[in-house]
Chain A
Amino acid sequence: MEILKSASAGTLESSDCLVTVEPGSGVSLELSSSVMNQYGRQIKATVLETLQRLGVENAAVTVVDKGALDCTLKARVECAVFRSCDASASNIPWGGAVR
């Protein structure tokens, strides 16, 4: 998927995260997390895998994590990406690129 415009999803509440995607060249990730020392690597891996599954090759991604579980991280990244393409409202590939 191509990031057409800046979009975000999520909140800064505990157990959630705020993900922002913007157009960029290549994938860059800026990550801050309340559980950085213990989960930083895993969060990074989850975010990058999710982007890859969605076929995002160019994006500047910012994740502010407040202790979100993996399932929440994925959901927020996906929602932000689909929003950036104005494609978040219908015909989501559940079980396909989103899984």
Chain B
Amino acid sequence: MKNAVGREIPDSLLVNGKEVYQGKQYMDGKYIQKAAPCTRRYEKPQESKIVATLADALRHCGARSGMTFSFHHHLRDGDFVVNMVMKAAIEELGLDNLTIAATSLGSAHDPIADYIEQGKVVGIQTSGIRGRMGEVVSAGKLKTPAIIRSHGGRPRAIEAGEVHIDIAFVAAPTSDCVGNCRGIGGKSNCGSLGYAMTDAKYADHVVVVTDCLVDFPNLPASVEAIDVDAVVVVDSIGNPKKIASAAARISQNPRDLMMAENVAKVIASTPYFKDGFSFQTGVGGPSLAANLFLEKYMDERNIKMGWAIGGICGPMVELLKKGKVGKVIDVQDFDLDAVNSINRTPGHYEMSASQYANPANKGAFVNKLDFVVLAALEIDTGFNVNVLTGSDGVLRGAPGGHPDTAAGSKVCIIVTPLTRGRMATVCEKVVTVTTPGDCVDVLVTDYGIAVNPLRPDLIACLDKAGIPHVTIESLKEKAYSLVGRPDDLEWEDKVVAVLEARDGTILDVVRKIKPLEL
């Protein structure tokens, strides 16, 4: 069945009430029955929940084959915990048929690709997938299609019981002996633990893995002891160098700066750019650099940003410290400046993934967002964005909060160079739709700006400000004139991944790519 973004969704996936994507806010006003976990009572006072090894923790939680384990990705590419846990489960306990439900997976998790090939891991649910895992899943080696959800779609699915977490693993930079966890204070500081919060509340069992045991009580706790079954102390939960970069520096690339300046110009031309406005930006080159130019316009008009959300890094913390933004609310931290600021700098708070982006709760932060600036691997003439699959059709990206912020915000700006190497970023049809075009408002490239025709109000704003803009079709034609029109990718029938829209409908599927034979 074809969905609202023109993608053919196999009927075999439309079971158990699954529907195809129907357009944004389709589910508005509907009721959901929340799922409840089945958790163990610990009435008898315990001095400590520390167990010696991960294998002991798994046994304590009744781990068995066929279970779903959840993980969060605050340790980013420095994470050791996913690999340690899966190794213990598969190699020490001999489990198989396991499903990994992670908030994101990256090249740090390359060893899991082996477990997929061996058939020990049979399901993957994640926001991002990269490296070898992306390759083996794309090659059709995972037994069931991977399910890709946004950061807001994941807590929605958990609350609705579409994902039932048997054991949630919390990678905690610090914990006390009963499992009160914080993201700061240890040697693997990561700041916010926002993505782990929903998991801990909805999992049957919760295991905290830490490399820094601190005195009880470890407060304010991001994940609370009341939800924790066991605590395991290991030598190291991650490689600090890869957890947070020293400081996210604003790009000096002239192309990035040119685009960033145009992003700021577009923002400043809209009526939403007024004192107290709200903002989120990515950490990619041109997205982050938009901060710099936005600050100039804020100074010029003598206005301040009310609040900013997102994955946070230094330049935003800097604005907070200068008093140019009122509050920063944070689900993840990308650099040490942000890590060292959360819950310390007045006005810098932590939030859960559900608070951030869940479309099915009673109002996430994204719903009050004025502007979001996002990157894209590809964007097509229907303004549909792909941030998941490469131009070769292989999984190597992450929707993350992209679809959530795009849907919630008043102005969603995509900033990307027109081409990358020989790849046309602006194209006729994206490989995979990860953010539907009805949520995307403006495209800023190094060759010009295009506004979604669904937003005549924004077109009028740009015209009034004298900002030149063109059609997205003309940008696509320009891209193809530079790099040549690409051949269509060739696919096999087998679906290797299902792309769920944030509301739980099916937005797209990724099939197994047919390698080109010359």
| Contact flag (A, B; Cβ within 8 A) | yes
Which residues of A approach B to under 8 Å, CB–CB? 14-15, 31, 34-42, 44, 66-70
Residue B518, interface by CB 8 Å = yes
The 9 nearest A-B residue pairs measured at CB: A67-B421, A38-B486, A67-B422, A40-B516, A37-B392, A35-B422, A15-B421, A37-B516, A14-B421
Task: Decide: B518 and A69 in contact? CB cutoff 8 A.
Answer: no
Q: Within 8 Å CB of A35, what residues of B?
A: 391-392, 421-423, 486
A-B pairs with beta carbons under 8 Å apart, 17 shown: A34-B421, A35-B392, A35-B422, A36-B516, A37-B487, A37-B513, A37-B516, A38-B391, A38-B487, A40-B516, A41-B487, A41-B516, A66-B421, A69-B422, A69-B482, A69-B484, A70-B484
Task: Decide: B484 and A42 in contact? CB cutoff 8 A.
Answer: yes
In the complex, residue of chain B having the shortest beta-carbon distance to the beta carbon of A46: B484
In the complex, residue of chain B having the shortest beta-carbon distance to the beta carbon of A41: B487
Q: Within 8 Å CB of A42, what residues of B?
A: 484, 487
Residue B111, interface by CB 8 Å = no
- How far, in angstroms, from A42 to B484 measured CA to CA in the complex? 9
Interface digits, B415-432 against A, CB 8 Å rule (1 contact, 0 not)?
A: 000001111000000000
For B518, give its contact among A14, A41, A67, A70 (CB under 8 Å).
A41
With a 10 A CB-CB cut-off, give which of B392, B423, B515, B516 has the most chain A CB atoms: B516
In the complex, residue of chain B having the shortest beta-carbon distance to the beta carbon of A13: B421
Task: Decide: B391 and A37 in contact? CB cutoff 8 A.
Answer: yes
Interface digits, B481-497 against A, CB 8 Å rule (1 contact, 0 not)?
A: 01110110110000000
Residue B393, interface by CB 8 Å = yes
Distance of A74 from chain B, by nearest CB (Å): 13
Distance of B50 from chain A, by nearest CB (Å): 49
- How far, in angstroms, from A39 to B487 measured CA to CA in the complex? 6
Distance of A29 from chain B, by nearest CB (Å): 8
With A36-B392, A37-B393, A37-B489 as known contacts, state yes or no: A31 contacts B518, CB within 8 Å: yes
In the complex, residue of chain B having the shortest beta-carbon distance to the beta carbon of A42: B484
Task: Decide: B422 and A39 in contact? CB cutoff 8 A.
Answer: yes
With a 10 A CB-CB cut-off, give which of A34, A39, A70 has the most chain B CB atoms: A39
With a 10 A CB-CB cut-off, give which of B420, B423, B483, B513 has the most chain A CB atoms: B483
